[in-house]
Structure 1
């Protein structure tokens, strides 16, 4: 069911289904894009589809590592790139194929967390001024729900950018990426067709 998360008969199945749907949705947004297109910034911001893909990859991977480390404290120097905004910039030496390979690895990692992690395990955090007094950490459940939220937010950004770049929109891109053919209510996206 590429247009919807599959029916779920348990909390874990619901989390896995919505996680997969959002991860696939962002990936589908890149379907058929050129190297030049993933670097275009057609909106007022400097966001690009490639930059969003790169950012989400690092974010998902970091949250996966935090969940896997629970109940131990997690630390990752790669997160410094996020603080500097480097995770949103596609380097000259990075290709869409490279970005998608890293994204797929991060997606597989978080899916594995959703499949087998103890949802009640707590991933501790260091005290920070933005946390409430006495806050000790997030449950793996919260982490997975937050990842769904984070991916969905940026998939929406990517949808808008993609439509501005070449007119492609979600359902036709999904139909094309999934090889679904003419569904009657939606035609698969093809290059050059707005």
Structure 2
């Protein structure tokens, strides 16, 4: 039987995979190239989502309301010049594995104290573990879409076409 948790984690895995497909066959230089008026680059999107995985998982696991390191680091949106895309991809996969492990057993109804931020009301804010997981899914899907636009502007590659080609390459089971 498929559970809400299993389905939600599967959807998050699909969004992650879509992002990783978008990053296929790129050089480090391409990963750091802006293709729109936005400052976002493909390497920056990947770095930001690695940060999001780590920060949200820490918030979930500690539930102490303390701001995790790097939560508001604006450099997380940029491709670092001293890092490779392969290194950023490995960090992302490692962060995703920790997230998946954390959400595999947590009570989705448990309430978690969120860190204060400049735009939140002054009283303490709580989210359920479910809401944190859904927020991470939304964040990943949104930025995977950004990455697709950046990549298509970079070299014309389409994530949708790559997904279709991968599906057609799968054995039909006949």
Please classify the TM superposition score into its range, dividing by the shorter chain length. 0.7 to 0.9
CA deviation vs aligned residue, 1:81-110 (integer Å, no higher than 9, x gap): 2xxx11012222100110001000111111
Structure 2 counterpart of 1:58: 51
Taking structure 1 as reference, are residues 44 and 12 closer, same or farther at Cα in structure 2, changes over 3 Å only? Answer: same
Aligned equivalents of 1:73, 1:95: Cα separation in 2: 33
Relative contact order: is structure 1 or structure 2 higher (C-alpha 8 Å, sep ≥ 6)?
2
Aligned equivalents of 1:50, 1:18: Cα separation in 2: 22
The answer to which of 100-109 and 132-141 deviates more is 132-141
CA-based RMSD:
2.3
Structure 1 counterpart of 2:139: 150
Q: Greater share of helix residues, 1 or 2?
A: 2
- Identify unmatched segments of 5+ residues in structure 2: none
2:126 alignment partner, one of 123, 133, 137: 137
Structure 2 counterpart of 1:181: 169
Structure 2 counterpart of 1:68: 61
Taking structure 1 as reference, are residues 175 and 125 closer, same or farther at Cα in structure 2, changes over 3 Å only? Answer: same
Matched, 1:27 2:20: yes
How do 1:95-106 residues align onto structure 2 when only pairs under 5 Å count? 95-106=84-95
- Identify unmatched segments of 5+ residues in structure 1: 1-7, 184-194
Q: Give the TM-score, by structure 1 length.
A: 0.79
Matched, 1:117 2:106: yes
Aligned equivalents of 1:62, 1:33: Cα separation in 2: 27
CA deviation vs aligned residue, 1:14-47 (integer Å, no higher than 9, x gap): 2111111111111111011111110111111111
Q: Give the TM-score, by structure 2 length.
A: 0.87
Taking structure 1 as reference, are residues 128 and 56 closer, same or farther at Cα in structure 2, changes over 3 Å only? Answer: closer
Aligned equivalents of 2:72, 2:120: Cα separation in 1: 19
Aligned equivalents of 2:4, 2:37: Cα separation in 1: 39
Residue 173 of structure 1 and its aligned partner are, at CA, apart by: 2.7
Aligned equivalents of 1:23, 1:80: Cα separation in 2: 22
